[in-house]
Chains A and B, each alone.
Chain A
Amino acid sequence: MEAIAFYTFAILTTVMFLITVLTNHALYALSALAAGMIFISAFFFLLGADFLGAIQIIVYTGAVMALYAFGMMFFDTTRTVVESRTSPQLVFGLTGVAALTVVAIFVAPIISENIVALYPAVDGAGNSQMVGMVLFTKYLIPFEVAAIMLLVAMIAGIVLAGKKMDHSLTLMKDEVECKNIEKEQA
């Protein structure tokens, strides 16, 4: 049963991400990416990481995809995208890195026989409960830093894209400065 679910979602995710990477239409890429994100959350549910799966759906398909959809309203998405031609050296390097990673994965269990769990799972506690216990004791400071980082990102997004939607903030500043310089020179 688990095998059927794994292979189904593996094929679906791979196909969706291949569409995202290979299509020439931005809208197809966006929808395929959203579908792939939802299929990835299925792996988290399969692995027993329920909270992570819920977060994946909420953050990625809820927040990130909505952001991309709003961002695409600014761009001309109807025309097809022209792609750059990759050099053979680059393709060679990519395949080399991928092959090395596969080898590392097959070798890893031989080396990692003596790995012990740093924060082992507690018996009788649900996934969300365990996440809370570890996140708010051992990872409290990274959690707070992540919160500050999200605040900074929110302010940056508002300042960059939000102010004076019909004018360019930096361009206007340049023009004002140019006029000031011209006045000084005159």
Chain B
Amino acid sequence: MEITLQHYLILSVVLFAIGLIGVLRRKNLLLLFFATEILLNAVNIAFAAISSYYGDMTGQMFAFFIIAVAASEVAVGLGLLVLWYKRTGKIDLDAMTSMRG
């Protein structure tokens, strides 16, 4: 049975939906970050599959840049998270209501 581009794209959508479920249901900010990593990886699969099936390198290039963005996001986000935890002692999303007007 031949594996086509559709298979990879459907897998990418399934993983993206899993990540979206995680983003919606998580209240702990650390686990919310995990869900965003899943989203970025799902998109990476789609980029690599399209790149491979059309014989074009552009998809892989964008996947590289996505990985770079994900690494930066983790570094800055975890720094902010550690800072917030040291200030308040909790990383729940519902507790971050200090900016209400």
Contacts and interface: CB of A to CB of B under 8 A. Distances in A.
Interface residues of B, number: 72
B95 to A, nearest CB: 11
From DSSP, what is the main secondary structure of chain A's interface residues?
helix
A160 B30 contact: no
B93 interface: yes
Contact of A160 (B52, B60, B83): B83
Interface residues of A, number: 82
Contacts of B87: 168, 170-171
Nearest to B67: A59
Contacts, number: 218
Given A33-B38, A47-B49, A120 B56 contact: yes
A115 B8 CA distance: 18
A152 B31 CA distance: 24
A105 B74 contact: no
A67 interface: yes
A48 interface: yes
B75 A154 contact: yes
Contacts of B19: 17, 21
A176 interface: no
A99 to B, nearest CB: 10
B61 to A, nearest CB: 5
A48 B56 CA distance: 12
A178 interface: no
Contact of A102 (B13, B44, B78, B93): B13
Nearest to A74: B82
A134 to B, nearest CB: 4
Given A60-B67, A71-B81, A156-B76, 7 more contacts: A33-B38, A67-B74, A98-B20, A131-B60, A135-B61, A139-B61, A149-B68
9 contacts: A29-B34, A43-B49, A47-B48, A47-B49, A47-B52, A51-B60, A55-B64, A139-B61, A149-B68
